[in-house]
Amino acid sequence: MGAYSAWSVFKEGLRDGRGWRQAWRTPTPKKHYDVVIIGGGGHGLATAYYLTKNHGITNVAVIEKGWLGGGNTGRNTTVIRSNYFYPESAALYDLSVQLYEGLSKDLNYNVMFSQRGNLVLAYSEHEMEMAARQYNAMRLNGIDAELLGPNEVRKMAPILDFSDTARYPIHGGVNQPRAGTGRHDAVAWGFARAADQAGVDIIQNCEVQGFVMEGGRCVGVETSKGEIGAGVVGAAVAGHSSVIADLAGYDLPITSYCLQAFVSEPLKPILDTVVISPAFGTYVSQSDKGGLVIGGGLDRVPSYAQRGNMPVQEAVLGGLVEMMPALAKVKLLRHWGGIVDVTPDSSPIIGPSGVDGIYLNCGWGTGGFKAIPAGGYLLAHCLATGEHHEISKPFNRSRFETGQLVDESAASGIPH
């Protein structure tokens, strides 16, 4: 399989694309791997890729019960940002943004990271004060940020309601220029292809049904395709983290909820940034195809059903229409839900699970997509060295015992 390039597209165009080969193999699982990763979403595939790239470990399997990127990686609203309040979070999410910045080249796969900004709107004096606080925190954390007044917001997003009759006039906002959106499927496929080329076995339609324990240490997984031995196991299964934890015998401070998203019919370009309003609980961006990609808060009922309920739909879409009344008659094209793993402090859990030989990458809650490269990078570091990377240290699960939480639930834009 050759490298993708403008030249290869041109060349294949001349011969009806007959030279394209499948992007990754469909191998039968071996008896034993140095590392087995459960979950073939973005985080699992990124972990496999960074194991090969940063640590030279290539005897790796990624086990996925469904198909690649069929969970939250294919269900999110593709926003990538690092506008966090606490230094620990800023370091974590900005590692991700930095990795995303070079990812297309790194993977030889266009992940379409478009750094179009992420504008958090302020609709009152109080929100404006919070915006200034957010701006200051971001600058102290070394993250790019701009504090904007109403006129600057209007320049960035004229589709917002600036009329005299607006129920809530816009006071300003905070923008992170380096934030933006990516192509979610391409992130999964790009990592899968690059990992596969480095020798990683990606095994789809293979469900983990149990763990093989030996002297208190996990030495493998039982799957629907038989037993697979493992030097060490990494679990990156998002909303199903508690299900895996139950099989392995550790507990987690996680509640699974449904998070919904919406996409509208394609429109002409009306919005070239991501706008989010904490007050309305809605955020929106416009995809390259013209559809508005709309998201909001969590459903209020703990759930493993990958579909949402009506009250949240009403709140999110009502908020959108209040922000941009011009969109009131736009039709929705699709609507869906994914199951997210929410921790008490809305920060992820990375590192040892509590059972010897199993490491975690979970608890990303509503914001896992933006963190895919960092989550993979840091879990790979844990799996390869048995120790934390400096950036993942604060996210060890022991923080729930020591009380040293990284409480982003109060600091983020949307209620978690």
The site for other proteins (CB under 8 A) is made up of: 240, 242-243, 246, 251-256, 300-305, 309-311, 344, 400-402
Q: Quick check: 306 and 259 in contact, CB under 8 A?
A: no
Nearest distance from residue 391's CB to other proteins, in Å?
Answer: 23
CB-CB contact of 217 with 207 (8 Å): no
Residues 6+ apart with CB under 8 A from 187: 42, 69, 73, 103, 111, 369, 372
Cβ proximity to other proteins: between 48 and 258 the closer is 258
Q: Which is nearer to other proteins, 75 or 240 (CB)?
A: 240
For residue 66, give every residue at least 6 positions away whose Cβ sits within 8 Å of its Cβ, in sequence order, or none. 40, 204, 205
Least gap, CB of 246 to other proteins (angstroms): 8
Q: How far is the CB of 354 from other proteins (least distance, A)?
A: 10
Beta bridge partners of 277: 282
What does the chain come to in residues? 416
Q: Around Cβ 102, how many Cβ atoms within 10 Å? A: 11
Distance in Å, CB of 416 to other proteins, minimum: 14
Exposed / middle / buried, residue 50 (Cβ in 10 Å: 0-12, 13-18, 19+): buried
Q: Are 267 and 330 in contact (CB under 8 A)?
A: yes
End-to-end CA distance of the chain: 43
For other proteins, give the closer residue by CB, 246 or 265: 246
Nearer to other proteins, 271 or 350 (CB): 350
Q: How far apart are CA 190 and CA 338, in angstroms?
A: 21
Instruction: Specify the pairing of strand 32-38 against strand 60-63.
Output: parallel
Backbone angles phi, psi at 210, to 5 degrees: 180, 175
Query: Going by DSSP bridges, is the β-strand pair 79-80/255-264 parallel, antiparallel, or unpaired?
Result: unpaired
Q: Which residues are CB-contacts of 127 (< 8 A; sequence separation ≥ 6)? A: 121, 171, 278, 279
Closest approach, Cβ 257 to other proteins, in A, equals 10
CB of 84 to other proteins, least distance (A): 21
Q: Which is nearer to other proteins, 253 or 318 (CB)?
A: 253
CB atoms within 10 A of CB 229: 15
In the complex, what is the shortest distance from the CB of residue 245 to other proteins, in angstroms, rounded to a whole number? 8
Q: Which is nearer to other proteins, 14 or 310 (CB)?
A: 310
Taking the complex as a whole, the smallest distance from the CB of residue 210 to other proteins amounts, in Å, to: 15
Closest CB to other proteins among residues 215, 403: 403
Nearer to other proteins, 284 or 349 (CB): 349
